[in-house]
Amino acid sequence: MMAQLIKNGSLTVDTWNSLEIGEGESPETLALPEGDLLFPLAVWLARKNEIIARYPRIGLLLQPADRVEDVAADLHYFQVIAVNFPKFVDGRGYSTAALLRQRYQFAGELRAVGDVLHDQLFFMRRVGFDAYALKDGKSVEAALASAFGTFSQPYQGATDQPLPAFRRNA
Amino acid sequence: MYQYTALDRQLINERVAQFRDQVRRWKAGELSDEEFRPLRLQNGLYIQRHAPMFRIAVPYGMLNAAQLRKMAHLARTYDRGYGHFTTRHNLQLNWPKIEDVPEMLAELATVDLHAIQTSGNCLRNITTDQFAGVAADEIIDPRPLAEIMRQWTTFHPEFAFLPRKFKIAISGTEEDRAVTWFHDIGLHLKQVDGQVGFTVIVGGGLGRTPIRGEVIRDFLPWQDILSYCEAVLRVYNRYGRRDNAYKARIKILVQALGIDAFREQVEAEWAHGKNGPMTITQAEYDRVAAHFAPPAYASVGAAELPQEKAFLRWVDRNTHAHKVPGYAAVTLSLKKHGIAPGDITAEQMEIVADLADRYSFGELRISHEQNIILADVKQADLYAVWQQASAAGLATPNTGLLTGMICCPGGDFCDLANAKSIPIANAIQARFDDLDYLFDIGEIDLNISGCMNACGHHHVGHIGVLGVDKNDAEFYQVTLGGRQGNNAKLGKVIGPSFSAEEMPDVVEKIIKVYLANRHEDEHFIDTFDRIGLDPFKNLVYEGRAHGKAKSAAQENA
């Protein structure tokens, strides 16, 4: 789906496809193709058993308004959770990621998708993302060279470093 | 005041490098205007009417002399030789070039200043009381916790793209001087059974929908303030409206849910963060608080002051009670009649820096009333300070008086404004240019905003003036009875709006009603509370066609 997936400090081949609910389709009746799929939350909630039975690897796609709490008990099914940023200024996905990692201990791949840009990567890494589908047309080389190390160390605790500076440096 | 550590300094230098690269990529077309916009905003850079406007942070209002000299240097080198202090502890420069801003930030960083998060939909500068640490009515000095919170807000990864801007104010005194009832989070430091903590107020704000905040927690131990704020912010970040910028502040969410339901959500969220790593340690508090230890005050008694009328007037209005005997806090007024309120020239900045070095331990503060404070002046030095401040045009004895007004830059500079505000301020100052008359009128807050965004805090002025746009013409709506402080409330609209030319008359009539009705020792606001809006309305609109008569007159015109 994305040409430019950054993971583990390099450009990675992506095998996952987002399942889209088309016009006139419903989560309950949508045809499910083969392959590694990122299921929209509504599809997952409607057809959990079918998906578990049919797919060896399962991905979830969360939109900004989707509540992590609604899948909190299901997280062990997902190899990947993709959090969509329809617009980069919509910051809900940061809380989604923080909750998945900090509260629900999600240990699989946590991927930022959508309007994912160079200057937000530092924050995304801090809240717990470990894969980034950089927007088409943006430079992966530049991102890898400088976007993740903008600041040498943070003041406040977050997913990547739970201790604030005043505890680390105490 | 707080001295930067190696880490603090490294982070602001890294910020400069980051922004330099962002400007470069924007110029090279690698960043679109839309992508660049929040990045420049979070470095204080707006695109304004004439030029970019650049907003430098003065965290919780504290500056040292070297920092102010650097601001003077920037104003002179990159701008037109002056700057404007805002109501939220910022200095604004109105004419810089975007291309110069990385270099300006680099210069600021050499004196531990920055423009981090001074605009944009993020955690903004934390504000407090200009007399923090010296106020006679102080319970707890808010500055150590303000600094700890500054660090926590800086580059917070989860809350860099909130639905809308987020402002926090802390007050540590009996009388609130930080407008805490009208902030997204307002904090009152207090001591209960020997334990220090906060009353936490949430969901206040001025702007288009002015709302007085509500108490979400009556007592929160100080150690918990970061984890608790994170809980508030997480609820807001997830559930605040993003479909309409005018309904995106936390106050709208609090109103929609009701304070009780909002509190429940916050408490449920906080249950996870409480007692976690963001709990402030005593060691950290002590480390930061040590920077705010009292300076080396001399043991001096109260000084005998020269009995000179002009000087004593200034002492009366522009000096303030101090914790330490023989000392006073001094307000250097940026409200000279005829000058835009809050404006200061590069030369004045340098003079103020010299005064701070000579008389006030090299430190100064910025007040939300847009003045500069020398917090620790020996009473014996007041006369000398007054003379030098007078010579520099910084001693207008109008603090707390009608012409000591708060005023935003308005339509002369600001792109958001519906109307000009500075000419209104200047016209009112010209009308009330007689000091005897000003002193007779006494304490009164006049606040002017050029639009409903309310940067001039018009809602909480005893007299509030709001610029509005009616069919492409500038008009002014007047409110009465607003106030800041512990009993903060919003003013009431007096009636239909006025043209710019009418405004000095309108204010004069309002003052006449007060003078005719006041009891001895009654301030304007007390008289207003006793007699209500009607007497003011009656005189202001006397002989003025309104309602049907006005429509008829307009049809016949």
B471 and B526, same structural domain? yes
Cα B476 off chain centre by: 22
A47 vs B: CB within 8 A: no
Contact A150 B283 (CB under 8 A): no
In the prediction, which pLDDT does A1 show? Answer: 44
Number of domains in chain B: 4
- In the prediction, which pLDDT does B47 show? 81
**Which of B226, B238, B284 minimises the CB distance to A95?**
B238
Instruction: Give yes or no for a contact between B506 and B498, defined as CB atoms under 8 angstroms apart.
Output: yes
Q: Are residues B189 and B329 in the same domain?
A: no
Note whether A105 contacts B: Cβ–Cβ < 8 A.
Answer: no
Residue B28 sits at the chain A interface (C-beta within 8 Å): no
Residue A26 in domain: no
Contact B447, B405 (CB under 8 A): yes
- How far is the CA of B141 from the CAs of A92, A103, B171, B173, B547, in angstroms? 35, 35, 8, 8, 53
Chains A, B: CB contacts within 8 A come to 107
Residues 252-311 of B with CB under 8 A from A: 272, 276-278, 280-281, 283-284, 287
- Contacts of residue A135, defined as CB under 8 A and 6 or more positions apart, other chains included, come to A4, A114, A115, A116, A117
Count CA atoms closer than 13 A to B36's CA, side-chain side: 19
- CA B21 centroid distance within chain: 31
pLDDT at B73: 98
The conformation of residue B519, written as its DSSP 8-state character, comes to: P
Interchain proximity B160–A90, CB inside 8 Å: no
Burial B376-403 (b: 16+ CB within 10 A, else e): bbbbbbbbebbebbeebbbbbbbbbbbb
State whether B350 and B477 are in the same domain. Answer: no
Distances (CA, A) of B484 to B262, B447, B489, B557: 25, 11, 7, 43
Residue A27 belongs to some domain of the structure: no
Question: CA dist B243 to A13, B51, B265, Å?
Answer: 35, 29, 21
Residue A25 belongs to a domain: no
Using the Cβ of B14 and the Cβ atoms of chain A, whether some distance falls under 8 Å is answered with yes
CA B348 to chain centre: 20
pLDDT at B188: 96
Does A150 contact chain B (CB < 8 Å)? yes
Chosen for mutation from A121, A150, A161, A166 (greatest number of chain B CBs closer than 10 Å) is: A166
Of B256, B288, B320, the domain-final residue: B288
Determine, yes or no, domain membership for A132. Answer: yes
CATH number, domain of B51, equals: 3.30.70
Q: How far is A157 from chain B (nearest CA, A)?
A: 7
Does residue B548 share a domain with residue B413?
Answer: yes
Residues A28, A9 contacting (CB under 8 angstroms):
no
B196 at A interface, C-beta within 8 A: no
> Which residue segment(s) compose the domain that A63 sits in?
5-20+32-168
Say if B231 is an interface residue toward chain A (CB within 8 Å).
no
Domain around B60 = 6-109
Give the pLDDT confidence score for residue A3 in this predicted structure. Answer: 63
Interface of B with A in 405-464 (CB under 8 A): none
Residues B346 and B420 both lie in one domain: no
Q: Is residue B131 part of a domain?
A: no
Which residues from A are below 8 Å from B162, CB to CB? 91
Examine residue B116 and state whether it is found in any structural domain, yes or no.
Answer: no
Count of positions (residues) in chain B: 557
- Domain assignment present for residue B127? The answer is no
Tokens of B432: 């009330």
Percentage of chain A exceeding pLDDT 90? 95
Contacts of A158 in chain B (CB under 8 A): 157-158
A121 inside domain: yes
Chain-centre distance of CA B321, in angstroms? 21
Residue B302 lies in a domain: no
According to the model, what pLDDT value does residue B415 have?
Answer: 83
Residues B34 and B163 occupy one common structural domain: no
Identify all chain B residues contacting A156, using CB atoms and an 8 Å cutoff.
151-152, 154, 156-157, 226, 278
Distance CA B458, CA B547 (A): 26
Taking the alpha carbons at both ends of chain B, their separation in whole angstroms is 63
Is there a contact between A156 and B278 if contact means CB atoms under 8 Å apart?
Answer: yes
Domain count, chain A: 1
Q: A98 CB near a chain B CB, below 8 Å?
A: yes
DSSP H/E element including B365:
strand B363-366
Whether B450 and B525 share a structural domain:
yes
Whole-angstrom distance, CA of residue B543 vs CA of residue B550 = 11
Q: Do B157 and A122 touch (CB under 8 A)?
A: yes
Q: Are residues B432 and B547 in the same domain?
A: yes
**Residue among B14, B151, B156 minimizing CB distance to A150:** B14
Q: In degrees rounded to 5, what are phi and psi of residue B93?
A: -110, 135
CA-nearest of B165, B211, B216, B164 to B188 is: B216
- Give the CATH number for residue B540: 3.30.413.10
Question: What count of other Cβ atoms lies within 10 Å of the Cβ of residue A145?
Answer: 10
List the single best residue of B23, B121, B238, B269 to mutate versus A (max A Cβ within 10 A): B238
Q: Which residues of B touch A94 (CB under 8 A)?
A: 157-161, 237
Instruction: List, run by run, the mean pLDDT of 10-residue segments along chain A (170 residues).
Output: 81 94 92 96 97 98 98 98 98 98 98 97 98 95 95 97 94
- List chain B pLDDT tens, one digit each, 557 residues: 999 999 999 999 999 999 999 999 999 999 999 999 999 999 999 886 667 899 999 999 999 999 999 999 999 999 999 999 998 899 999 889 999 999 999 999 999 999 999 999 999 999 999 999 999 889 999 999 999 999 999 999 999 999 999 999 999 999 898 999 999 999 999 999 999 999 999 999 998 899 999 999 999 999 999 999 999 999 999 999 999 999 999 999 999 999 999 999 999 999 999 999 999 999 999 999 999 999 999 999 888 999 999 999 999 999 999 999 999 999 999 999 999 999 999 999 999 999 999 999 999 999 989 999 999 999 999 999 999 999 999 999 999 999 999 999 998 888 888 999 999 999 999 999 999 999 999 999 999 999 998 999 999 999 999 999 988 899 999 999 999 999 999 999 999 999 999 999 999 999 999 999 999 989 999 999 999 999 999 999 998 865 555 555 555 54
* Residues of chain B contacting residue A149, judged by C-beta atoms under 8 Å apart: none
Q: What is the CATH number of the domain that holds A39?
A: 3.20.20.70
On whether any CB of chain B is under 8 Å from the CB of A145, the answer is no
Question: Positive or negative CA dihedral for B348, B353, B357, B359?
Answer: positive
Pick from B495, B455, B502: nearest CA to B474: B502
CA angle B189, B194, B197 (to 5 degrees): 25
Give B-chain residues touching A122 at CB under 8 angstroms: 157
User: Could you tell me if B99 and B201 lie in one domain?
Assistant: no
In a domain, B294, yes or no: no
Domain membership of residue A88 (yes or no) is yes
Among A103, A119, A156, the residue with its CB nearest the CB of B156 is: A156
Best probe of the B interface among A121, A151, A153, A169, by most B CBs < 10 A, is: A151
Do the chains contact at A155 and B154, CB–CB below 8 Å?
A: yes
pLDDT confidence of residue B556: 53
Q: How far is B200 from chain A (nearest CA, A)?
A: 21
Within a domain: residue A60?
Answer: yes
Four-residue CA torsion sign, B487, B488, B492, B497: positive
Whether B138 maps to a domain, the answer reads no
Residue A73 lies in a domain: yes
Q: What are phi and psi of B217, to 5 degrees?
A: -150, 125
Q: Do B161 and A167 touch (CB under 8 A)?
A: no
User: Would you say residue B399 lies in a domain?
Assistant: no
Task: Note whether B280 and B315 are same-domain residues.
Answer: no
Whether B273 and B168 share a structural domain? yes
CB-based contact A150 B237, cutoff 8 Å: no
**How many C-beta neighbours within 10 Å does residue A53 have?**
8
Whether residues B150 and B224 fall in one domain? yes
